[in-house]
Structure 1
Amino acid sequence: MHTRNLVVLLPFLSSHVSAHTFIWGVFVNGVDQGSFKGIRTPPYNGPPGGGGYNNSPVKNLTSIDIRCNVMGDIQAPDTIVVRPGDNFTFDWHHDKRSTNDDVIASSHHGPSLVYISPDPPTENSFVKIWHEGLYEESVFPNPGKWSTTQNIAANGGSMNVRIPPGLKSGHYLIRAEMIALHEGEVSYLNVPARGAQFYPNCVQIEVVDGGDVELPQGVSFPGAYDYDTPGIVYDVYCSTETPKTPRATPCTTRYPIPGPTVWTGAWADTTSVPRGPIEGPTTHTSWSTWIRTSTVTSASYTDKKSISVVGTSVYTPSWSTTYQTPVAATGRW
């Protein structure tokens, strides 16, 4: 059975489901474009009722999943239209698209980063246009301030960036990510049970009324980060009020943000704009298809306690080398 034939969409329900953080929507100049619109939302990683959720953290830096998350090669059925200079706000959430959602676990301190690439990506096509890490250093016992927790989560899940000035019209992917360092004091390569947790998401955009500015050479995903890249292995508890002891290496409160420097053609100002009302669902879908360790499972069930597996197949990512117009649909999962 072909993997894509297993992917189905079921109605949105109001039930609470466990999840890690991912992008639920985007605002353009403060106007919501609709829940899940243009977003390559990660699929569920387990059966309903069994602890499945969207967006397991990616920890293997050599995996293609580090590019746009699991099944990130599958297009969303729609694209967000923007213009150079537009304010673009990612709306990150954990359990539901609500102001009282925690966005990301309070222990998941780390940096936030945004890249842009032509769609589809090519070798060295991801250009960094914004990042933020430890933006206020700690003086023990007071914690420092980290982008993921003290900025993004503290501001309702908003991550703000602007479409580069004069950017040439065309189709692009914006890759936004948060990196959680609560287990990052050791390398995943050495201790697979721990290591930094990466939460990448990609959004499809079309730039219209653009100028003549083309993106410079960037970096590749995978390839941009390695396990010896500064900022990938880091003891985040050096900057909080609860440092762990003993430590294998001396403690430092300075943090080098991974990846390249921000492109000089990006906006220096990423000031947020007021957000309008949310358009669309604010809770998870119910699901009957999920993926775990590259195996896609399709099931049927009458309730979450009675699940019958219909079929399985192995999923192999397949990134197109030419732009493919998204196929209109009612959803992806």
Structure 2
Amino acid sequence: MCRSSALILALLQGQAFAHTFIWGVFVNGVDQGSFKGIRIPAYNGAPGQGGYNNSPVKNLTSIDLRCNVMGDVQAADTIKVAPGDNLTFDWHHDKRSTTDDVIADSHHGPSLVYISPDPPTENSFVKLWHSGLYEESTFPNPGKWSTTSDIAKNQGSMNVRIPKGLKAGHYIIRAEMIGLHEGEVSFEVNPIRGAQFYPNCVQIEVTGDGDVELPEGVSFPGAYSYEDPGVVYDVYCSTNTKTTKSTSCITTYPIPGPTVWSGAYAETTQVPLAQVTGVTTHPDWSTWIKKSAVTSATYTNKKSLTIVGSQAYTASWSTTYQTPAPNTKVGHW
């Protein structure tokens, strides 16, 4: 890891929470520890001024669409898995608890999971799973969406299995939820609105003697377009909030991106989850990124904020695998 990346990682340690992202990963039902292996999105503003993780991403041409804001900064550890293992991503909003709302109840939309070798290359992301509008509306009853009726109703659990026979090596899992509550127009046409993308990446190492290699996939950015009917979509056609429907109102939903890889498991079921290990709430933060500048400050007693320094930031993805720096802090704090 280069010196600047190490500095930014040090600045980010201690960050967590706000818009939905992954707080933990269960492997076959066993929690690997809060924030282990997860590239946590950076805060977008100072404490006490409305800052939060996961902005979300709306610009489909931004590198942030790959693994969220500052997604090129590695987590300090990697989760070891084997082909066939069941991974449960534990998404949360405010705290790692079964009482957390996971994602706002207005943020209807699809959920998707991709896998790529680490580091990603051109067309390296392969889709393992997706779910969208899985029960159509019968007005006045709303349809059921993956984000709000499945993931949120199951305490934030999103499940996927490591493909059978997958070749050993280092990979990135790109899990994502998309909020369509402002998606009736594209961000390109109206930057105040547009679909909201919540991508989050997890570092894994696949073990074993498998020989299955991933096929050609898609790139991020590049996989989604403002012309995609699953990106610009009036989600209220499928809910009971729209009392009249125009002739252009579509109640079916085409999930964006490629089809699911034929080598992925056809079904992934929820497995019983053991107790959460690690922190379940977040500490105060003192580092954030805004307009491509990372700012650090001291922040005490939720009152005193003193700027320490700031440095320019540009995402810089390595083209070769970089071993994560040792982590000496439990849960990345």
Question: Structure 2 length as normaliser, TM-score?
Answer: 0.94
Which of 302, 309, 312 is the matching residue for 1:311?
309
Indicate conservation of the 8 Å contact 1:83/1:210, yes or no.
Answer: no
Indicate conservation of the 8 Å contact 2:36/2:79, yes or no.
Answer: yes
Give 1:304 deviation, angstroms: 2.4
Q: Give distance in 2, aligned partners of 1:222 and 1:244.
A: 36
Q: Give distance in 2, aligned partners of 1:97 and 1:5.
A: 27
Give 1:255 deviation, angstroms: 0.2
Residue by residue over 1:243-291, the C-alpha shift from the partner in whole angstroms, topping out at 9 and shown as x without a partner, is 17786x7101000000000000000020110000000000113211111
Give 1:293 deviation, angstroms: 2.4
Residue by residue over 1:171-227, the C-alpha shift from the partner in whole angstroms, topping out at 9 and shown as x without a partner, is 000000000000000000000000000000000000001411000000000000010
Residue by residue over 1:64-93, the C-alpha shift from the partner in whole angstroms, topping out at 9 and shown as x without a partner, is 000000000011010000000000000000
Which of 279, 282, 286 is the matching residue for 1:281?
279
Counterpart residue number, 1:25: 24
Larger displacement relative to structure 2 (278-287 or 60-69): 278-287
Give 1:3 deviation, angstroms: 7.1
| Residues 246 and 313 of structure 1: CA distance in aligned 2, closer, same or farther (over 3 Å) | farther
Counterpart residue number, 1:35: 34
Q: Give distance in 2, aligned partners of 1:9 and 1:184.
A: 31
Give 1:301 deviation, angstroms: 3.0
Counterpart residue number, 2:251: 253
Is residue 202 of structure 1 aligned with residue 205 of structure 2?
A: no
Counterpart residue number, 2:7: 5
- Give the percent of matched residue pairs that are identical in Structure 1 and Structure 2: 74
| Residues 310 and 283 of structure 1: CA distance in aligned 2, closer, same or farther (over 3 Å) | same
Q: Give distance in 1, aligned partners of 2:260 and 2:89.
A: 18
1:212 aligns to what SS in structure 2? Answer: coil
Q: Give distance in 2, aligned partners of 1:179 and 1:121.
A: 21
Is residue 265 of structure 1 aligned with residue 263 of structure 2?
A: yes
Q: Give distance in 2, aligned partners of 1:156 and 1:85.
A: 23
Number of residue equivalences: 328
Q: Give distance in 2, aligned partners of 1:263 and 1:18.
A: 32
Is residue 327 of structure 1 aligned with residue 318 of structure 2?
A: no
Structure 2, unmatched stretches of 5+, are none
Indicate conservation of the 8 Å contact 2:65/2:220, yes or no.
Answer: yes
| Residues 41 and 210 of structure 1: CA distance in aligned 2, closer, same or farther (over 3 Å) | farther
Structure 1, unmatched stretches of 5+, are none
Counterpart residue number, 1:129: 128
Counterpart residue number, 2:74: 75
Is residue 57 of structure 1 aligned with residue 39 of structure 2?
A: no
